[in-house]
Structure 1
Amino acid sequence: MRLFSSMLFIILIFSSLIWVSCGSEKQAVAPPQKITVVEVITDDVPIYREFVGEIYGEKDIPIRARVEGYLEGIHFDEGTEVKQGQLLYSIDPLPFEAKVNAQQSELAATKTMMVKAESDLNRIKPLAEMNAVSKSDLDASQAQYDAYIFSVEAANANLRSAQIELGYCKIYSPINGIIGMTKARVGDFVGRDPNPVILNTVSETNHIKVRFFLTESDYLYMSREYLARLEAMIEEPTTQLKEQTPNVQIILSDGSVYEHKGLVDFIDRGIDPTTGSILVQADFPNPKLILRPGLYAKVKIAIRLVEDAILIPQRCIMELQGLNSVYVVNDSNMVQSRQITSGPSLGDYRLINEGLEVGDKVVIDALQKVGEGMIIEPEIIKFESKTKQQSK
């Protein structure tokens, strides 16, 4: 009986080992999980930077009261287009007309005295030749006549000055453009602080200027890129055509991208020591006159072109404690974690500086289901970008 029990115990142990062995074999032969991956792509990618800018007119001309007086008339509709030479304001001319009349009288009197001095000189000259009068009398008569000549010239100058001041009583538009709201009304005294001196502004807006500031580092970086392009232009003259193509964009406050591109046409002579930045200006066409002075916009500039840049979808990237990594599938279908150095975002793509090569397969979905060393069945898909910002 004891022998039978021992044999039964041994049979049960062997049966358990066989069952465990069969279960392990079944688990080992389970098919690998199907995981979607994308292949690394390359493209020539422009790198953009954005800056905050303010819009100005091609010309923003202040309309000044150049003489003091009471505003007598406003001869335009505020916020409308005005033509060069169009009458805008008129100031009470009576004080200036009186000044002109006074200067005319002064000129007439001075001319009369000059004529008398000339007559006296003409009478004395023959007498002096006969020694009938002294030489000093002749010199005095000549000096008096010369003095009245200069007095007439001075009176003419004073009259001209008075006429100019009278002309300033009518203020005309210096350019074609849009005029703003008047800062003075009929009856206001203008032309002297604290009263209005600048009455309005006329802006020419067929073209607009956008002014923005670059930091020292941005300026140095863009200058080096410009010099590199200039050297390429010298080596290959056809590059010049590209260089002159407008490459500056503006993004308006509603998020829309302005339809026309512009060109940088001015860089200030030096860095502002108080802000550590430099003023840059770009010119944009404004044929529909939509843009007005005073608007703020983001200026978007392509500062360089990265040729054969490596790109992957942003959602492939995992970030942990400031480090970026991706899951790469090797030729044996094994998942490997690889640390990368990434560059700027381009829509829903990310530029990769280091860590990936052309042809690498990167896990895009189910990042929580895979891990280092896991064998998978990669399913290569083509990523469809939902933005238009990546380079084509």
Structure 2
Amino acid sequence: MKLSSLILGLSFFLFISCKEKEQQKMPPQQIKVVEVIKKDIPIYNYFVGEVFGEEDVSINARVEGYLTGILFTEGARVKKGDLLYTIDPEPFNAAIAGEKSKVTEAQTKYLNSENNLARVKPLAEMDAVSKSDLDFALADRDASLAARKAAEASLKMAQINLSYTQIKAPINGFIGKTQARVGDFVGRSPNPVIINTISKVDNVRVQFFINETNYLIFAKEFAEAHRDLDVEKRAQKAEIELLLTDGSTHPYKGKVDFINREIDASTGAILIQASFPNPELILRPGQYARIKVKSKVEKDALLVPQRVVTELQGEYSIFVVNAENKIESRRIVIGDSFDDYYIVKEGISEGDKIVFEGLQKVGNGLEVIPEITVFESQFKKQ
């Protein structure tokens, strides 16, 4: 029995020894690596913006009355001068008739006063009437003239009010959903006063807010990069892109129209407006989109793909193949991200070989045969 146990133990020992020798003789495994690259990288900030038309003009009922006609299709494109709405004109026609009669009455009084003055004036020169009679005739003529002008002005206002019963498009653009229907009384609160809006969207405005810190970084970096330009031209030089909610990028770059004069004390943010060409009319007022703003350029940045970086409790590390072709874990300090790369501040040098695949199969001291591969960014495929 003891002899059997001894033989079994010896056999197991010999088996283990053989396996260890086999492992020791196994050649180094081939593993894919990428090299650390150095290049100048633009750094972008992202903000949420709201789209507005190049012009967004409210359609107002400028006189009170009952709506009698809607002469457009909601959501359609309209031209400046197109008739959009009509308001019942009858009360305004009646007002014009009344004002015309007042003008006629005032004109008659004025002519009578003019004739009276023409009669009195030569008599006063002959001292046939008193000077006070002449003064009275002059005053009566002047008062009658003023009354006639006032009546004419009232008539003109009545005619203007009548014209307001025909509401026309003030600009070219897309008209929205009507806020009043035929038969509604419009033009006085709580009834509709603003009954529609027309937006011109051949170009659009996008407004967004940035916090004070980002504003200062942006302003300093941009001023340094374009020191030779005045403030307005600096703003127009800013590289601004619009990222849509479906993940696509608007094909036309924008320019800054203005930066607001003050930072909102309640939010600590400042308003910026940029404009974008919109020839395909894809962008519409009310849309939300992400603004991509180039804030600075990181000179000689060291880049590694984000997928090769391991994070544990806020510390970042990578596996590097050293000069002896052995794996070593190296702690790094990362900065900004660029597409699907990290900019590394400390821990690596240009040309270092970083383990790209099989991160779970490697460890410190493992000898490997590095196979250099090229990382293809997903952003370049889009």
- TM-score between both structures, scaled by the size of structure 2: 0.88
Amino acid at match of 2:279: P
Alignment check: 8 A CA contact 1:84 1:176 kept: yes
State the secondary structure of the residue aligned to 1:209: strand
Distance 2:172 2:18 in 1: 94
Tell me whether 381-390 or 92-101 shows the greater mean CA deviation.
381-390
State the secondary structure of the residue aligned to 1:72: strand
1:271-286 maps to which residues of 2 (within 5 A)?
271-286=263-278
Deviation at 1:105, TM superposition (A): 1.0
Distance 1:220 1:35 in 2: 45
1:224-373 maps to which residues of 2 (within 5 A)?
224-231=220-227, 247-372=239-364
Amino acid at match of 1:298: R
Give the aligned partner of residue 142 of structure 2.
146
Deviation at 1:102, TM superposition (A): 1.1
**1:384 aligned to 2:380?**
no
Distance 2:199 2:206 in 1: 14
Give the aligned partner of residue 124 of structure 2.
128
Amino acid at match of 1:367: L
**Alignment CA distance shift 1:344-1:389 (3 Å):** farther
**Alignment CA distance shift 1:23-1:258 (3 Å):** closer
**Alignment CA distance shift 1:27-1:286 (3 Å):** closer
Alignment check: 8 A CA contact 1:346 1:389 kept: no
Deviation at 1:246, TM superposition (A): 7.3
Amino acid at match of 1:178: F
Amino acid at match of 2:286: G
Structure 2 counterpart of 1:186, from 182, 186, 203: 182
**Percent identity over paired residues:** 49
Give the aligned partner of residue 159 of structure 2.
163
Distance 1:205 1:356 in 2: 50
Amino acid at match of 2:372: I
**Alignment CA distance shift 1:70-1:370 (3 Å):** same
Distance 1:134 1:65 in 2: 57
Structure 1 counterpart of 2:211, from 202, 215, 218: 215
Distance 2:366 2:273 in 1: 56
Deviation at 1:272, TM superposition (A): 1.5
Give unpaired runs (5+ residues) of structure 1.
1-19, 235-239
**1:94 aligned to 2:90?**
yes
Tell me whether 343-352 or 265-274 shows the greater mean CA deviation.
343-352
Deviation at 1:29, TM superposition (A): 6.6
Alignment check: 8 A CA contact 2:124 2:134 kept: yes
Deviation at 1:357, TM superposition (A): 1.3
Distance 2:55 2:239 in 1: 23
**1:196 aligned to 2:189?**
no
**Alignment CA distance shift 1:185-1:22 (3 Å):** closer
Amino acid at match of 1:212: F
Distance 2:192 2:178 in 1: 10
Deviation at 1:309, TM superposition (A): 1.6
Give the aligned partner of residue 79 of structure 1.
75
Deviation at 1:66, TM superposition (A): 0.1
Distance 2:51 2:29 in 1: 57
Alignment check: 8 A CA contact 1:329 1:362 kept: yes
Amino acid at match of 2:128: A
Tell me whether 162-171 or 343-352 shows the greater mean CA deviation.
343-352
Deviation at 1:366, TM superposition (A): 3.3
Distance 1:242 1:158 in 2: 52
Deviation at 1:220, TM superposition (A): 0.9
Q: Larger Cα Rg: Structure 1 or Structure 2?
A: 1
Give the aligned partner of residue 13 of structure 2.
none
**Alignment CA distance shift 1:388-1:116 (3 Å):** same
Alignment check: 8 A CA contact 2:235 2:257 kept: no
Distance 1:22 1:188 in 2: 98
State the secondary structure of the residue aligned to 1:161: helix
Deviation at 1:293, TM superposition (A): 1.2
Give the aligned partner of residue 3 of structure 1.
none
Alignment check: 8 A CA contact 1:313 1:383 kept: no
Alignment check: 8 A CA contact 1:53 1:210 kept: yes
**Alignment CA distance shift 1:303-1:137 (3 Å):** same
Distance 1:124 1:243 in 2: 74
The CA RMSD measured in Å over matched residues stands at 2.8
Amino acid at match of 1:318: T
Structure 2 counterpart of 1:48, from 44, 49, 62: 44
Deviations 1:289-322 (A, max 9, x none): 1221111111122222223221111122121210
Give the aligned partner of residue 8 of structure 1.
none
Amino acid at match of 1:108: T
**Alignment CA distance shift 1:144-1:128 (3 Å):** same
Distance 1:362 1:375 in 2: 14
Deviation at 1:149, TM superposition (A): 1.4
Tell me whether 164-173 or 350-359 shows the greater mean CA deviation.
350-359
Distance 2:74 2:20 in 1: 89
Give unpaired runs (5+ residues) of structure 2.
1-15
State the secondary structure of the residue aligned to 2:375: coil
Distance 2:26 2:148 in 1: 117
State the secondary structure of the residue aligned to 2:378: coil
Deviations 1:156-214 (A, max 9, x none): 11111111111111111011111111111111100011111111111111111111111
State the secondary structure of the residue aligned to 2:98: helix
Number of residue pairs matched by the alignment: 366
Deviation at 1:116, TM superposition (A): 0.8
